[in-house]
Amino acid sequence: MQIFHRSTNTISRATIFGAVFIIAILLWGSIQWQRSPYVTYAKVARPQPVPFSHQHHVAGLGIDCRYCHTSVETSSFAGIPPTKTCMNCHSQIWSGAPMLEPVRESFRSGKSLVWNRVNDLPDFVYFNHSIHINKGVGCDTCHGPVDRMPLMFNYASLQMEWCLDCHRAPEKYLRPREQVFNMRYEQPSSDKPATLDGKQYTDQLSLGTDLVHKYNLRSVADITSCSTCHR
Amino acid sequence: MDEPTTPAPVIEPGYTFGTVTDKISSIVLTRPTSNGWLLGFGVAFLVSMGLLYAVGYLFLRGVGIWGVNIPVGWGFAIVNFVWWIGIGHAGTLISAILLLLRQSWRNSINRFAEAMTLFAVACAGMFPILHLGRPWLAYWLFPYPNTMRVWPQFRSPLVWDVFAVSTYGTISLLFWYVGLIPDLATLRDRSENRGAQIIYGMLAMGWRGSARHWARYETAYLLLAGLATPLVLSVHTVVSFDFAISILPGWHTTIFPPYFVAGAIYSGFAMVLMLAIPIRKFYGLEDFITDRHLNNSAKVMLATGLIVAYGYGMEAFMGWYSGNRYDSFLLWNRLHGPYAFFYYLLLISNLAIPQVLWIRKLRTSPFWLFLISGVILVGMWLERFIIVVVSLHRDFLTSSWGMYYPTRWDWMTYVGTIGFFLACMFLFLRLLPMISIFEMRTLLPEAEVKAE
């Protein structure tokens, strides 16, 4: 007596064959999912009490990063400006704009504006802005083209693989210190060579390698040691 | 000594192909579920629910509910892991190595020994995961393109363990399943119940028993046996590396790999006997699992037990001969320290008592063998306890000495895995043929090819 229909042969073969693909797709999918904005929030604008536009203030008005983020060169924390910094200008211009009412309210009451943190590293990571700035890591290397962000979002995934990408080969990203706050900095190429200490560079690797020495970067073994960031 | 010239038969005379098949398949297909089975399964199931409770609370509260702390960071979890994985070794040894050595007596016990291996490996596999601080991240143990862009530390034996145990589990499962296929087809063909026919039929994967099937089957089975053979040695070797690679006195010894493998087989055969003796009694299988099987298993236990004894002797000798004060202190601490009672208990249960197996009468007495096997299982558990706890609790610095006391959660988890193991065994006995039908048939005189 036959228990199974003749088609079972085909179905079982297809199942065995298909299982390989299904498992492969599931694995691939979960690897992609881990890196997707759904998990990392990369390039997803966060709601803020006031829709502050970096594009307008940086690219449009030409305000330097350090005008607001005052402690970025000397402290681990770049600093969120107090309401007074906003009011330096906004007591004069757009002083009646309804959009800025929360700013004025904060100024009147003395209660800080509560911004939503965008570039938020996990608490088990020790991060220091000043060391990165002083060793020649540009703002936009990590934060992306902030001068083209009408609403703020984190440009990078902020995952450990992203940190290690630079920590394992810092010469790929370093730039001269005076270019750190230049949001439109371009790495040297044969078309646009860069000059440093009287020497001309036509590619990033040779410039970066020299900067590693010039700025006395710790060895890759040091800066990729677990306890450098997980203290 | 009046040694008989021919050993006891592997299968009692008077059976034919048909009666062997009837006898084994009827246990699954026609025999009603007995009250004894229900009671046994029920108790084992309840105990394994205790495991679920303990693990649930562990996930809620973390490993702080266990007795582990510095200096004893490895407590029951690792003791039980090594104990269970060791027990698993007998199955692979019986099914693979004895197959390649053409020890046909293995045919009656290989199936349930393999099942026992699988369940023991499942129990063992739980512990390393449970003792992680964050068990839900256990997949970090595997090398995969992760978002941290770091690989597991391949220089660590703990990572080797992951590969050793998962390979072992996979091969054991495949070997067991491939061995089951012809018997699953037998069950499919003999089953009267439509649902059972479909389930066994699916599992049999279209086995028809044609000559071509058998030819391919034998090749595949031999290949798997060849793959499984090195695993018998490698898995417990790697497990012993967890200890031996470190520099702790009591762990840092080269004798560990062979002595761990021997200990694994020792405890594995003890577990096989502890299961085989009641099974053959309750299911009336004395004709298939004969005194010869008991005798042979007891001999294996005696031999591996002596290797283990040599290991203990060597450890003690090196404690003295090395002249290393920490090594000699370890020996002193084992003999006179706070856990000395357990060390003497270990020596009695693992070295002294099993020596009675030199007596032929006891090797074929189910009652005594059952008791001795139980003693050996306790002894092998104590051995791991001594290795893990006594070595850790007093190491180089007196200021960092401490004591280890298991908590109720430690016990509940441990006893729970025994319940889980037994519940799995009960289900296996009820749902699958516990003795390989087709391999038993090859043992019959009928199967012998006669030259015309």
| CATH at residue B240 | 1.20.1630.10
Residue B159 counted as domain residue: yes
- Coil vs helix vs strand at A123: coil
What b/e string do you get for B56-70 counting C-beta neighbours within 10 Å, with b at 16 or more? eebeeeebebbbbee
Residues of chain B with Cβ-Cβ distance to A164 below 8 Å are: 148-150
Task: Give residue B22's pLDDT.
Answer: 87
- The confidence score (pLDDT) of residue B106 equals 87
pLDDT digits (tens, 9 = 90+) for A70-102: 999 999 999 999 999 999 999 999 998 999 999
Task: Please report the pLDDT score of residue B383 as a whole number.
Answer: 95
In this predicted model, which residue has the larger pLDDT, B363 or B3? B363
**CA nearest B149 in A: which residue?**
A161
Could you tell me the CA-to-CA distances from A194 to A37, A118, A187, B312 in Å, in that order? 35, 33, 8, 71
Of A3, A35, A159, the CB nearest to B198: A3
A179 within 8 A of A140, measured Cβ to Cβ: no
Q: What is the dihedral of CA B232, B234, B239, B244, to 10 degrees?
A: 130
Name the minimum distance, in Å, from the CA of A63 to any CA of chain B: 35
d(CA A83, CA A103): 7
Please tell me if residue B188 touches chain A, with a CB cutoff of 8 Å: yes
Which residues in chain B are closer than 8 Å to A35, comparing Cβ atoms? 147
3-state secondary structure of A201: strand
Structural domain spans, chain A:
12-39, 121-229
Q: What confidence category does residue B450 fall into, taking pLDDT thresholds of 50, 70 and 90?
A: low
Confidence class for position A3, pLDDT limits 50, 70, 90? confident
Condensed to tens digits (0 to 9), the pLDDT of residues B23-47 reads 888 888 888 888 999 999 999 999 9
Instruction: Please state, rounded to an integer, the average pLDDT across all residues of chain B.
Output: 91
What is the ipTM for the molecules in this complex?
Answer: 0.78
Residue B288 lies in a domain: yes
Length reported for chain B: 452
Q: Which of A188, A186, A142 is nearest to A165 (CA)?
A: A142
Residue B96 confidence (pLDDT):
86
Do the Cβ atoms of B28 and B192 come closer than 8 Å? no
Residue B17 reports pLDDT greater than 90: no
Q: Show residues of chain A in contact with B144, CB under 8 Å.
A: 31
Is residue B143 over pLDDT 70? yes
Structure tokens at B102: 């053409």
Residue contact B150–A157, C-beta within 8 A: no
Residue B231: which pLDDT band, with cuts at 50, 70 and 90?
confident
Annotate A139-191 with DSSP letters as a single string. HHHHH--GGG-SS----S---HHHHHHHHT-GGGT---GGGTT-TT-----SS
CA distances (Å), A16 to each of A10, B182, B221, B226, in order?
A: 10, 19, 20, 25
Q: How far apart are CA B443 and CA B16, in angstroms?
A: 10
Residues B252 and B244: beta-carbon distance below 8 Å: yes
Bridge partner list, B72: B69
**Terminal C-alpha separation, chain A:** 70
Interatomic CA distance for residues B364 and A228, integer angstroms? 64
Nearest to B147 among A4, A9, A34 (CB): A34
The one-letter amino acid code at B430 reads R
User: Which of A59, A52, A63 is CA-nearest to residue A113?
Assistant: A52
CB contact under 8 A, A3 and B205: no
Please state the domain count of chain B: 1
Residue among A4, A8, A160 minimizing CB distance to B149: A160
Which of B134, B137, B147, B205 to mutate to probe the A interface, most A CBs <10 Å? B147
pLDDT tens sequence across A37-64: 999 999 999 999 999 999 999 999 999 9
Q: Which two tokens stand for residue B227?
A: 């793959």
- Per residue in B253-265, pLDDT tens? 999 999 999 999 9
Question: Whole-angstrom Cα distance, residue A83 to residue A112?
Answer: 7
Percent of chain B with pLDDT over 70: 97
Q: What pLDDT shows up at residue B1?
A: 46
Q: Is residue B183 one of the residues assigned to a domain?
A: yes
pLDDT band per the 50, 70, 90 thresholds, residue B415: very high
How many of the other CB atoms lie within 10 Å of CB of B36? Answer: 9
Distant-in-sequence, close-in-space partners of A124: CB < 8 Å, separation ≥ 6: A230
B7 pLDDT more than 90: no
Q: If pLDDT is split at 50, 70 and 90, which confidence band does B330 have?
A: very high
- 3-class SS at A91? coil
Segment 25-54 of chain B within 8 Å of chain A by CB: none
Q: Around Cβ A30, how many Cβ atoms within 10 Å?
A: 11
CB contact B156 to A (< 8 Å): no
Q: Determine the straight-line distance between the first and last CA of chain B, rounded to whole angstroms.
A: 40
What are the backbone angles phi and psi of residue A199, rounded to the nearest 5°?
A: -110, 140
Q: What pLDDT, on a 0 to 100 scale, did the predictor assign at position B452?
A: 58
- Inform me whether the pLDDT recorded for B161 exceeds 50: yes
Inter-chain contacts counted by CB atoms under 8 A, chains A and B: 31
pLDDT at B108: 87
User: Which chain B residue has the Cα nearest residue A160?
Assistant: B148
Q: Which residues contact A173 (CB under 8 A, 6 or more apart)?
A: A137, A138, A141, A166, A208
Q: Which residue range(s) make up the domain with B197?
A: 17-445
What residues of A are in contact with residue B205 (Cβ under 8 Å)?
12
Residue B278 inside a domain? The answer is: yes
Cβ–Cβ below 8 Å for B147 and A164: no
| Count, residues in chain A | 231
Q: A1, A3, A228: which to substitute to probe chain B, counting the most B Cβ within 10 Å?
A: A3
Q: Give residue A223's pLDDT band: very low, low, confident or very high (50, 70, 90).
A: very high
